[in-house]
Amino acid sequence: MEEQLHELRTLVARAENRRTETGIPRVAMVRGKVPEHDLTAVYDPMVNLILQGAKTMTVGERTLHYDPATYFVMSVDLPAAGNVMATPSGEPYMAVSLTLDPALIANLLADLARTPRGPTLEMAFSIAAVTPELLDAWLRMLRLMDRPADIPALAPAYEREILYRVLQGPLGWMLRDIATPDTTLARINIAIQWIREHFAEALRVETLADMAAMSPSAFHRHFKAATALSPIQFQKRIRLLQARTRLVSGGDSATATAFDVGYESATQFSREYARFFGLPPARDLVRVREEMGGVRRAS
């Protein structure tokens, strides 16, 4: 596998210190020290492959660590905090990701033999050991960066193979469940999408449970098992991340932003903001802008 990783690193070496598009649909790459504010975000469902260095991903109270021997699957939208590390010898962090499209997964599943559904109480993000077959599919996908004319014809086939290799692995149930109606994870995802779209509104667990066709107690239990957060905690993380994005973009004051994202108390907003990001809004804004300036200078 080392030869495959070496060629993949060579291809990804052209990436920047942030999410860098490859020209291939749903495929992105990154190299180097990613700013903290880019790593603390709402992550889309994805398969993420580390090529060099290491990364930690924290959702709620759960923290996972992965390196070039592993890949990461996140099957629903999740507010998470990441941290990337160079190798002990100082070589930069490198990774490549594929954003998941449930419709494509469902289409692939239609051509495969029926497989058992996943666990009924399991988190919607985890890591697994990478295989030579999965690396080979990624390698052929990234080689298309140098043959853009081939992308429309070949990228769908390589994406299908990457999904197939993940489906055959220990985390395949995550992909199956988000692409299969009426699974527990698919129903939890309905509630997640509602929270993302209506984060500033009052949240009633009973209403979300109805959307997911579960009792309130079962919904709360399954939601926390999947996301490592209660529904209320999930909404708070979304609100805080939305607030930070608005403050960084140079919009309203912290007080106005607090009310816009659904808080009824500016004091409570500042307290929870500092608890989550480590600094109150004004000081955090200075830190983020310094990081952004440093990235521009490095580029």
pLDDT at 297: 40
**Average pLDDT taken over every residue of the chain:** 91
In order of start, what are the domains of the chain with their CATH numbers? Answer: 2-178 (2.60.120), 184-298 (1.10.10.60)
Cα distance between residue 73 and residue 124, in whole Å: 8
pLDDT digits (tens, 9 = 90+) for 221-233: 999 999 999 999 9
What is the reported pTM?
0.89
Q: For the residues of 110-175, what is the DSSP string, one character each?
A: TTS-------SS--SEEEEE--HHHHHHHHHHHHGGG-GGGHHHHHHHHHHHHHHHHHTSTTHHHH
Is residue 294 scored above 60 in pLDDT? no
Cα distance between residue 37 and residue 206, in whole Å: 33
Is residue 37 scored above 60 in pLDDT? yes
Is residue 115 scored above 90 in pLDDT? no
Residue 39: band (very low, low, confident or very high) from pLDDT cuts 50, 70, 90: confident
Residues 6 or more apart in contact with residue 143 via CB below 8 angstroms: 11
pLDDT digits (tens, 9 = 90+) for 180-234: 888 899 999 999 999 999 999 999 999 999 999 999 999 999 999 999 999 999 9
